Amino acid sequence: MSVKRLNHAVLYVRDVERTVKFYEEALGFRVDVQFAGAAFLKAPGSNNDHDLGLFEVGPDAGPSLAGRSTVGLYHLAWEVETLSELEELGRRLGRMGALVGASDHGTTKALYANDPDGIEFEVSWLVPAEFLDDDTLKARAGVRPLNLPAEIERYGADTPGLQTVLYDRASEPEPQPRPA
């Protein structure tokens, strides 16, 4: 038995309302539960309890120094299903002034952006298994600028990306009743 995927992320933010509005507009998240100083959001189409939790720490909170002078989280990565979705999010994040980069990692095509508190996140599309060849796999060893129009030409705008979690229930043992 092992873990299957990251289930959700929780962030400390200066202003929950501002951050909720950003993630709703930028990535299409929707609020599922909210109360004073906290909000729990779901990604579009998610059946998860929540995908993103936000806790307010106030306007005087300093920036994260992770990666500059302290250890800590670099970024979170959210997946899109198609390159056309990645392209649309790139335009949206650009209009919002949040887009800070775009990289080709071989098997992953990625955009990078910052939320209102400067917390970096990635939005990525993963090359489907049937398109993985030696060159694509070798390209993971480096990072190149993302040429999204060329990737759309190569893979197709509406080709679904790699499904990262497949639950094979047939190989799992039957659950045992709990002792009384």
Q: What is the CATH number of the domain that holds 116?
A: 3.30.720.110
Query: How many domains does one find in the chain?
Result: 2
Mean pLDDT across the chain: 93
Flag whether 177 is in a domain: no
> Using CA atoms, how far apart are residues 99 and 54, in angstroms rounded to an integer?
21
> Using CA atoms, how far apart are residues 105 and 102, in angstroms rounded to an integer?
10
Q: Do 38 and 84 reside in the same domain of the chain?
A: no
pTM of the model: 0.89
Flag whether 31 is in a domain: yes
Flag whether 148 is in a domain: yes
Q: State the residue range of the domain holding 32.
A: 1-58
pLDDT in tens, 70-125: 999 999 999 999 999 999 999 999 999 999 999 999 999 999 999 999 999 999 99
Which helix (H) or strand (E) is 35 found in, with range? strand 30-35
pLDDT in tens, 16-47: 999 999 999 999 999 999 999 999 999 999 99
Flag whether 103 is in a domain: yes
Q: Do 82 and 154 reside in the same domain of the chain?
A: yes
CA distances (Å), 13 to each of 37, 53, 125, in order? 10, 10, 27
Chain-centroid distance of CA 138 in Å reads 23
